[in-house]
Structures are given as C-alpha cells and as structure tokens.
Chain A
C-alpha cells in the first residue's frame, strides 16, 4: 500500500532562518506531488505542485520554493523565513492519470516562526 511521510512534525524557527521540509511517498511511482499551507482555523492553500522530477509549478507568489530531486521526494524550502510563513504545511500525492483523482495527505509539519 502507499504511504506518505513528512518531517519534521513540528518546527520552531526564528525569523530570517532557512527552512527545509521533506516529504516522501512509498508504494507508488510517478505520483503528482503537492505542498499546501493551512493557517490556523483556515482552509487549504495550494503552494506548489509537481508532475515529475525537476518539474515544479507555483500557485501563489511567496517566500518559499520547492524541489523534486527524486520521483517520490518533494522538498519545501526557504532561504529566509518571515513571520507570515507560520502555519501547518501538508504534503499530498495523487495518481497521475486522466480524470480527477483523490489526493492523500501526509501528517503535516506545524511551523512556528518567532
């Protein structure tokens, strides 16, 4: 069966520090991968999606970047964190086929910026 792993589970970082969050998927090949951010009590904001190695698309302009160095690895990064980067970051994957497909979420990383 397919599984998705995210780490770390929680992170407290000072303003201006760098960030690296990692997500890996097991049990499937060629998945679509997604990064979402969720502010406290709010909905899901899509940040990035990827349909293959090295292929990254950004949905919103921001202080963050994403990379996909391997088929089942997705990394979210920042060179200098802002207070507004605080939130719950969720990685998700879906099967890459025609037609709508469910997205399956990781357990998330709760990021607090001080």
Chain B
C-alpha cells in the first residue's frame, strides 16, 4: 500500500549548522510533496512544497529536493536557529479508493537546535 518513510526520527544540531530530513515514498503516481512544521502544542503549518515537475525549490533558509527516479525527497534547513526547533512532517500525494486526492504523512522528525 501507499507509504511514506521519514528519517531520522530525531535530529539534534548546533545553531548555525544545517539540518537534512529525508523521506521515501512508495506510490510512483505521487506528484505533490509538502512539508509541515509543527511547534509544540500547535497545528502543523505548511512551510514548503514541491511538485513532481520540479527537482528543487528554495525559500530563504529552507529548500526541498525531489528525486522521482529514486522516490526520495528531502528538506534542507541551513543556518539553523533555535526557533527552527519543532517536529517536521513530510507528505506525498495519494488517492483514496474513490479517486479523491489525499496526503500520506511520514511519522515526523523532531528537530532540536541548540544555542
């Protein structure tokens, strides 16, 4: 069935370092890949997304890369800051049995940025 695997489950970095979170998806028909950031006790918020016709997308300190052949996509955060500390979820688009679109979420990565 459809599945998204996310690694690592926890990540600890020093302020200023880079952080990379990787996801692998199983459905070759997936064409949309969003990333969400969830701070403690808050709702998940979309921070960046990429579609399958693009290999890389950047927004200031964050970037996402997509390798359709290998079914991998990754989130890159440069110059990390303490406020980047949160749980990050990747997702891949999929289909419900009735043909409607859904998102399949990874299990999450808890990122801790230490001053």
Contact = CB atoms under 8 A, between A and B. Distances in A.
Interface string A43-54: 110100101000
B100 A106 contact: no
A51 B102 CA distance: 11
Interface residues of B, number: 26
B43 A99 contact: no
Q: How big is chain A's contact interface, by range?
A: 20 to 34
Interface in B28-58: 30-34, 41-46, 49, 51
Interface in A49-102: 49, 51, 57, 90, 94, 96, 98-102
Interface of B: 30-34, 41-46, 49, 51, 89, 92-93, 96, 98, 100-103, 105-108
Interface of A: 32, 42-44, 46, 49, 51, 57, 90, 94, 96, 98-108, 110
